[in-house]
């Protein structure tokens, strides 16, 4: 989910205090609603509740951004700008001060990361990615593996060693291509990486330590309910046995912890789905909606055994 997008353009993880040392699992996800607002929501996994109250807004209106984070903070690229915000979970505060901007304009990007860094695909029909180092709030495009083709409207999810980036739209073609980005060597490859079940863009993704769930978003000219399960160990992907979204999804975002992913459907709705990894099941029932309609948002959180 652009998740966030999960990322997405959109990317995703889940946070919980102590998680950096392998302790508590993620407890909350922070969702930027996008849609040219500064609004963010705090989603609490244990109660399936959500609030915009007391949640730090973005420093500027946000649209078509992306996000990644570790156990203490989420880094939000606001989209259509080089600006990023650092959202601190403990105090629900957000700042653009002292936060490294992207190396170039970022629109329709995606992001995934581990406990030390976030990898941001800038989108904008370029191949550029940035490595954002949480400890120093620094960012660089130098020495960072580019995508195998230009991309926009992608999504990403990963575990502690790799991020899987769905490239989205390549030129004027809606693509099935994904890249595997290896954090240790900052390398990227499309070789041996399972493609999506059908060409897609403006999707979202969240996952745990073994798999990433990709909401495909727009397929051709159709808004889709299709999701894929990407298994990291085998670099395989399937749409079979993977619960679809409760309604057509596009331009959404996603975040989760080690047991579930919360998918904001986007498409100017307030609907969210809870995807349970162990059963590959999904429901919109009992899942807190967003405080306002959501589209082209982003989300970040933490999951034990994902970002460590």
Yes or no: say if 218 and 248 are a contact pair by the CB < 8 Å rule: no
The confidence score (pLDDT) of residue 161 equals: 95
The pLDDT of residue 171: 86
Q: Is the pLDDT of residue 48 over 80?
A: yes
Say yes or no to pLDDT of 12 above 80. no
Give the mean pLDDT of 276-300. 97
Domains, the chain: 19-300 (2.120.10.80)
Q: In what order do the strands lie in the sheet with 204-207?
A: 204-207, 211-215, 227-231, 236-238
Q: How far apart are CA 214 and CA 202, in angstroms?
A: 11
Q: Find out whether 193 and 228 touch, Cβ atoms under 8 Å.
A: no
Name which residue leads in pLDDT, 7 or 275: 275
The whole-number pLDDT of residue 11 equals: 38
Residue 39 confidence (pLDDT): 98
Examine the pLDDT at 231 and tell me if it is beyond 70.
yes
pLDDT tens-digit map of 129-144: 999 999 999 999 999 9
Residue 32 has pLDDT above 80, yes or no: yes
What pLDDT does residue 199 have? 94
What does the pLDDT average to over 229-244? 98
Mean pLDDT of 232-236: 97
pLDDT confidence tier of residue 306, bands split at 50, 70 and 90? low
- Transcribe the chain into DSSP letters: ---B------B---B-TTGGGT-SPP-EEEEE-BTTB--EEEEETTTTEEE-TT-PPPSS-B-S-EEEE-SSEEEEE-SSBS-EEEEETTTTEEE-TT-PPPSS-BBS-EEEE-SSEEEEE-BTTB--EEEEETTTTEEE-TT-PPPSS-BBS-EEEE-SSEEEEE-BEETTEE---EEEEETTTTEEE-TT-PPPSS--BS-EEEE-SSEEEEE--EETTEEB--EEEEETTTTEEE-TT-PPPSS-BBS-EEEE-SSEEEEE-BTTB--EEEEETTTTEEE-TT-PPPSS-BBS-EEE---TTT--
- Residue at token pair 């959500």: 50
Residue 307 pLDDT level (bands cut at 50, 70, 90): low
Give the chain's mean pLDDT: 91
Question: Looking at residue 221, what is its pLDDT?
Answer: 85
Q: Say whether pLDDT at 4 is over 70.
A: no
Q: How far apart are CA 69 and CA 290, in angstroms?
A: 21
Of the two residues 210 and 308, the one the predictor is more confident about is: 210
pLDDT class for 6, splitting at 50, 70, 90?
A: very low
Q: Are 183 and 161 in contact (CB under 8 A)?
A: yes
Q: What is the dihedral of CA 22, 29, 261, 191, to 10 degrees?
A: -70
Q: Find the mean pLDDT for residues 68-78.
A: 95
Average pLDDT over residues 161-173: 94
């Amino acid at each position: 989910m652009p998740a966030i997008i999960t990322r997405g353009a959109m990317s995703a993880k889940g946070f919980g205090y102590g998680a950096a040392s392998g302790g508590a699992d993620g407890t909350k996800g922070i969702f930027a609603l996008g849609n040219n607002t500064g609004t963010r929501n705090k989603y609490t996994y244990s109660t399936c509740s959500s609030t915009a109250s007391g949640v730090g807004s973005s420093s500027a209106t946000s649209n078509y951004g992306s996000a990644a984070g570790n156990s203490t903070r989420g880094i939000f690229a606001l989209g259509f700008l080089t600006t990023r915000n650092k959202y601190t979970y403990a105090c629900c505060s957000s700042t653009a001060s002292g936060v490294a901007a992207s190396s170039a304009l970022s629109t329709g990007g995606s992001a995934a990361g581990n406990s030390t860094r976030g990898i941001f695909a800038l989108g904008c029909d370029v191949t550029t990615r940035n490595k954002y180092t949480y400890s120093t709030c620094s960012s660089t495009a130098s020495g960072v593996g580019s995508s195998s083709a230009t991309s926009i409207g992608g999504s990403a999810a990963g575990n502690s060693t790799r991020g899987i980036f769905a490239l989205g739209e390549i030129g004027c073609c809606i693509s099935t291509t994904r890249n595997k980005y290896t954090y240790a060597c900052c390398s990227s490859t499309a070789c041996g990486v399972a493609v999506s079940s059908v060409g897609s863009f403006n999707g979202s993704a969240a996952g745990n330590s073994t798999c990433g769930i990709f909401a495909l978003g727009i397929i051709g000219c159709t808004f889709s309910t299709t999701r894929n399960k990407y298994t990291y160990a085998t670099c395989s992907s399937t749409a079979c046995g993977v619960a679809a979204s409760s309604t057509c999804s596009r331009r959404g975002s996603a975040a989760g912890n080690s047991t579930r992913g919360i998918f904001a459907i986007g498409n100017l709705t307030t609907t969210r789905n809870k995807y349970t990894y162990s059963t590959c099941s999904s429901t919109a029932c009992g899942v807190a909606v967003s405080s306002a309609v959501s589209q082209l948002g982003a989300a970040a959180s933490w999951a034990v055994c994902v970002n460590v």
